[in-house]
Chains A and B, each alone.
Chain A
Amino acid sequence: DGGITQSPKYLFRKEGQNVTLSCEQNLNHDAMYWYRQDPGQGLRLIYYSQIVNDFQKGDIAEGYSVSREKKESFPLTVTSAQKNPTAFYLCASRGDVLGYGEQFFGPGTRLTVL
């Protein structure tokens, strides 16, 4: 089945450590996205990529980094510069080239900083 996988489902990190969240899709989609969701709140865009080897900052990119070396993969690194990283992280992808179709979401990774 085609879809988006995120790993791990739960992640614990000590303060001051960098951590990388995985996102893989086999939908052959060009565009991929990372969102952050805090309890009781909507989604905030961290980074997005519309094509391999290119990505743009979203609304809350500070303290995060990404890479897009392969079409299927869009890993997110949460760096020690992110002051409050505990949150639910969602990866998404979109297949249409015109840019106004729906996005498909992965199951999410819950990051907790200890």
Chain B
Amino acid sequence: GNSVTQMEGPVTLSEEAFLTINCTYTATGYPSLFWYVQYPGEGLQLLLKATKADDKGSNKGFEATYRKETTSFHLEKGSVQVSDSAVYFCALSARNMASGSRLTFGEGTQLTVNP
């Protein structure tokens, strides 16, 4: 079956530090990959996505590259801000009928950025 593994949290950084949150996946077929962000007490917002190998998704200074050879989709940001404090979820949507139309999520990584 499909699965997503994220680096364990929580992650605590100082403002302007470099951020990496690791995400690896297992999937049949050729999945689309996503990063979602959840602020306290809110729903999930799509942060970025990539639909094929070597695609780079980017948004709000965050980037992630779809690496088929390492089955990874690591999230990076060069300089984090206090406002980036949130929970980040990696997810995949597999392109085969056996998986139906569901997303498979990682466990989430709590990021706290201190001023």
Contacts and interface: CB of A to CB of B under 8 A. Distances in A.
Interface residues of A, number: 28
A103 B91 CA distance: 10
Contacts of A41: 107-108
Contact of B42 (A92, A103, A108): A108
A20 B107 CA distance: 27
Interface string A47-75: 01010000010100000000000000000
Tier of interface size on chain B:
20 to 34
Most buried by A among B32, B44, B100, B101: B101
Contacts, number: 60
B73 interface: no
Given A58-B102, A94-B101, A105 B44 contact: yes
A2 interface: no
A47 to B, nearest CB: 11
Interface in B23-46: 31-32, 34, 36, 41-46
A74 to B, nearest CB: 14
B103 interface: yes
Contacts of B100: 48, 50, 56, 99
B66 interface: no
B49 to A, nearest CB: 6
Interface of A: 4, 6, 31, 33, 40-43, 45, 48, 50, 56, 58, 90, 92, 94, 98-108, 110
